[in-house]
């Protein structure tokens, strides 16, 4: 095309610009979709990040819901950090996890399952180690272990796989009888112990490294390939991990294990019932970081550093108000220790420089802003950082981090969210127990203004309680995003005991369950009414796990406050909870002793003993095989309300389900029942 002069060129340039602008406007996605329950099952969840050694690519997993009785299926994907198209590496729900790059970046090793309906490994659905070319192609099975592989580590030169296997052991005494009646369940004496093996991928020789004499909960190979850090217990019951786990270092040449922790070390802590986790070696293989987490107390980061005298332990100080939230790792080859930290409902990537010789340097925020970080990974040099991030307007995606508040999006996993009419999400505050300021996440319908008048309202209570509700967009089976779409206000209080508001706020709940946090929640509800947001006659309360427990507490403590309740997997009696749950240290920490030591306190913390105060119509959910809050609590709540107190209630038991519901069908049932229950009692819907 030829232009007569510069004036004509200018006119044509303007015309082209207008056409492009119109095209862009026309392509802009319109937010016209009202969020529905089924939208939850369309969300793709990203995880298992591993950046290639040169930083050019990142391997990650995508998990998607199946239909009906199916749960989530997971496959391995690859994204480029320079903006090229993403590549899918596995198909058909391979269950891909734990991707590890070979040192040259030409291979990715991962755990996965291939079920070709064959009787022998690796195609029998057992979990094995696989290798895949990052340019594409079929995964190749590296192991064919009967009953599968539990975990693995790759040697620094990429030639050897160290992997964990399981072996059932029956102890003395009563060994003969227990073997004779092996189809029965026994309280103790039949253990699944773990052995460590290594596979040389040059000679394909497979040999034992460590006999199956311990339970290995976590393992990490040092960068020099000489040492394997282990977290072990003597039994595979979860109760042993919370109070009797230890960190040790296995010398691979001699087979000797050097213990780093013992009971005397635990006895110096606020609670002996801590969970050891998150092993991480420094680049020089001379320092090992790990964390210890508790129910009720703030988690701590520890570093063991090799000296001539042994491996002395150093407690690493966190920034004030920041709660450790996992992801412990060292950046590159230096002594900068990185982790996820939670503060004021945001989760960011933090770094502490110069963790060496019992000292530490300044703290930095590597990935910050108004974000919730799910996971992160560095390249080999520590210069490239990729993080999985959520915000109040976007679902989870991977980002290349260019600075504390600068990032480049690498994936677009949930484009449908761009069409959703989003709730208004706010981080709000009110005066809680002891005059302390409490915070929470408030969701309001799109376009709502106070002058529109009060709304039917749901108070949604998070589990834990050593957890929190985060400042992010989340479509969740416990009400978030969906309730606002249906016209409700929804407040998720981060009551005393929640993470992200400082250690004092978190630990103040110890010894005061069913008291201080109940005041926080009641005050939050009254604040919403006083603000003109909540209709005092149309307030409901719901929660799962500790949120279910607090739902039970609230309908006892405030019998006239709530018009409806949904209690999911909630504790009713603390003594029974101590006796039957899989992590009893939780109860011991909060009630400050054992039942025969604190009988009055156990009763005070239990809603059961004042159940006769309840007037609130209550919907009760529980997994039929829940080990964390067993169904006895929910069945007792139902019996009391239905048969003795004549309070409207329904009990829903999900057969075979654990503490969290695992199938599409059951999660949809939970959502549908809640919508119908609150619809009846808060909105006056009599169609049911």
The total number of structural domains that make up the chain: 2
| Assigned domain for 117 exists | no
Q: Is residue 495 part of a domain?
A: yes
483-492 tens-digit pLDDT: 999 999 999 9
Element spanning 199, H or E:
strand 190-200
**Mean pLDDT score, 318-331:** 97
Pick from 517, 320, 502, 525: nearest CA to 434: 517
Q: Please tell me whether residues 516 and 644 are part of one structural domain.
A: yes
Q: Is the same domain home to 470 and 440? A: yes
In angstroms, what CA-CA distances link 397 with 45, 389, 411?
9, 6, 6
The per-residue pLDDT for 27 is: 58
* Whether residues 403 and 479 fall in one domain: no
| Shared domain check, 651 and 555 | yes
Asked if the model's pLDDT at residue 2 lies above 70, the reply is no
Residues 343 and 470 in one domain: no
SS3 of 319-367: CCCCEECCCCEECCCCCCEEEEEEECCEEEEEEECCCECCECCCEEEEE
Q: Are residues 401 and 522 in the same domain?
A: no
The percentage of the chain sitting over the pLDDT mark of 70, rounded to a whole number, equals: 96
Band of the pLDDT at 116, cuts 50, 70, 90? confident
Q: 103 lies in a domain?
A: no
Tokens encoding 572: 């009713």
Checking if the pLDDT of 6 tops 80, the result is no
CATH of the domain at 453: 3.40.50.1820
Tell me the pLDDT tens digit for each residue of 199-232: 999 999 999 999 999 999 999 999 999 999 999 9
Which of 365, 388, 417 is a domain's end point?
417
Share of the chain above pLDDT 90, in %: 92
What pLDDT score was predicted for residue 260? 97
Residue at which a domain ends, from 390, 417, 444:
417
Strand order in the sheet with 87-88: 45-51, 57-65, 72-80, 87-88
385 & 496 share domain = no
Kindly state whether residue 375 falls inside one of the protein's structural domains: yes
Q: Are residues 483 and 549 in the same domain?
A: yes
Q: Is the pLDDT of residue 17 over 50?
A: no
The pLDDT tens digits of the residues spanning 398-423 come to 999 999 999 999 999 999 999 999 99
Write out the residue range of the structural domain in which residue 630 sits: 420-572+615-683
Do residues 559 and 429 share a domain? yes
Both 506 and 519 in one domain: the answer is yes
| Per-residue model confidence (pLDDT) at position 354 | 97
Q: Does 665 reside within a domain?
A: yes
264 lies in a domain? no
* Among 602, 604, 674, 608, residue whose Cα is nearest residue 644: 608
CA angle 573, 579, 584 (to 5 degrees): 95
* 439 in the same domain as 383: no
Q: Of 378, 402, 417, at which residue does a domain stop?
A: 417
pLDDT of residue 12 exceeding 70: no
pLDDT of res. 233 = 97
Integer CA distances (angstroms), 314 to 182, 194, 278, in order? 46, 29, 16
Residue 104 has pLDDT above 50, yes or no: yes
**Cis upstream peptide for 122 (omega within 30°):** yes
Find, among 682, 676, 616, 671, the residue nearest to 649 by Cα: 616
Q: What is the mean predicted confidence (pLDDT) over 343-352?
A: 98
Task: Say whether both 385 and 452 belong to one domain.
Answer: no
User: How far is CA 412 from its chain centroid?
Assistant: 22
195 domain residue, yes or no: no
- Full DSSP string of 447-459: T--GGG--EEEEE
Is residue 4 predicted with pLDDT exceeding 80?
no
pLDDT tens digits, residue range 250-309?
999 999 999 999 989 998 999 999 999 999 999 999 999 999 999 999 999 999 999 988
Confirm whether 295 is domain-assigned: no
Of 28 and 306, the structure prediction assigns the larger pLDDT to 306
Q: What is the pLDDT of residues 309-324, one digit of tens each?
A: 899 999 999 999 999 9
pLDDT of 15 higher than 80: no
Nearest to 557 by CA among 587, 598, 516, 529: 516
């Amino acid at each position: 095309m030829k232009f007569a002069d510069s004036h004509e060129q200018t006119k044509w340039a303007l015309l082209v610009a207008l056409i492009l602008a119109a095209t862009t406007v026309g392509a802009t996605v319109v937010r016209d979709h009202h969020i529905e329950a089924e939208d939850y099952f369309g969300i793709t969840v990203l995880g298992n990040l591993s950046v290639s050694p040169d930083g050019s690519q990142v391997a990650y997993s995508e998990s998607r819901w199946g239909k009906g009785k199916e749960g989530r299926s997971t496959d391995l994907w690859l994204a480029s950090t320079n903006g090229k198209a993403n590549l899918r590496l596995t198909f058909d729900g391979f269950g891909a996890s734990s991707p590890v790059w070979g040192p040259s970046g030409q291979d990715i090793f991962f755990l996965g399952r291939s079920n070709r309906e064959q009787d022998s490994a690796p195609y029998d659905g057992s979990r094995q180690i696989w290798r895949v070319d990052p340019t594409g192609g079929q995964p190749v099975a590296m192991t064919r272990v009967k009953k599968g592989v539990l975990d693995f580590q790759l040697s620094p030169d990429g030639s050897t796989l160290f992997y964990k296997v399981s072996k059932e052991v029956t102890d003395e005494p009563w060994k003969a009888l227990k073997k004779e009646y092996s189809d029965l369940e026994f309280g103790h004496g039949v253990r699944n112990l773990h052995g460590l093996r290594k596979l040389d991928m040059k000679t394909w020789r497979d040999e034992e490294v460590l006999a199956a004499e311990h339970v290995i909960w976590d393992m990490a190979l040092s960068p020099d390939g000489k040492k394997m850090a282990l977290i072990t217990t003597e039994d595979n019951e979860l109760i042993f991990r919370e109070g009797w786990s230890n960190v040790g270092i296995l010398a691979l040449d001699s087979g000797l294990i050097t213990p780093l922790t013992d009971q005397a070390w635990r006895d110096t802590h606020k609670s002996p019932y801590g969970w050891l986790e998150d092993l991480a070696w420094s680049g020089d293989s001379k320092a090992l970081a790990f964390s210890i987490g508790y129910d009720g107390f703030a988690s701590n980061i520890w570093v063991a550093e090799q000296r001539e005298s042994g491996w002395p332990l150093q407690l690493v100080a966190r920034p004030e108000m920041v709660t450790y939230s996992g992801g412990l790792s060292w950046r590159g080859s230096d002594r900068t220790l990185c982790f996820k930290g939670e503060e004021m409902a945001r989760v960011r990537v933090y770094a502490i420089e110069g963790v060496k010789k019992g000292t530490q340097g300044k703290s930095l925020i590597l990935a910050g802003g108004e974000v919730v970080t799910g996971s992160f990974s560095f390249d080999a040099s520590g210069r490239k950082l990729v993080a999985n991030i959520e915000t109040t307007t976007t679902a989870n995606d991977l980002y290349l981090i260019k600075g504390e508040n600068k990032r480049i999006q690498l994936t677009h996993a949930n484009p449908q969210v761009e069409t959703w009419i989003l709730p208004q999400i706010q981080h709000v505050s009110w005066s809680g127990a002891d005059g302390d300021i409490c915070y929470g996440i408030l969701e309001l319908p799109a376009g709502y203004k106070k002058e529109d008048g009060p709304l039917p309202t749901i108070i949604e209570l998070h589990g834990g309680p050593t957890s929190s509700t985060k400042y992010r967009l989340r479509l969740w089976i416990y009400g978030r995003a969906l309730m606002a779409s249906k016209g409700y206000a929804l407040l998720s209080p981060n009551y005393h005991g929640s993470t992200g508001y400082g250690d004092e706020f978190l630990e103040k709940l110890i010894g005061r369950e069913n008291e201080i946090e109940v005041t926080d929640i009641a005050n939050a509800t009254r604040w919403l009414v006083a603000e003109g947001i909540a209709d005092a006659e149309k307030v409901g309360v719901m929660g799962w796990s500790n949120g279910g427990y607090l739902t039970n507490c609230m309908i006892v403590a405030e019998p006239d406050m709530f018009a409806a309740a949904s209690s999911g997997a909630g504790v009713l009696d603390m003594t029974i909870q101590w006796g039957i749950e899989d992590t009893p240290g939780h109860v011991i920490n909060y009630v400050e002793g054992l039942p025969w030591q604190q009988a009055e306190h156990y009763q005070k913390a239990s809603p059961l003993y004042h159940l006769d105060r309840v007037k609130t119509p209550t919907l009760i959910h529980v997994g039929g095989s829940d080990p964390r809050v067993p169904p006895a609590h929910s069945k007792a709540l139902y019996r009391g309300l239905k048969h003795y107190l004549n309070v409207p209630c329904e009990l829903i038991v999900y057969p075979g389900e654990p503490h969290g519901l695992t199938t599409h069908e059951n999660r949809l049932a939970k959502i549908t029942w809640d919508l119908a229950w609150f619809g009846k009692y808060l909105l006056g819907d009599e169609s049911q």
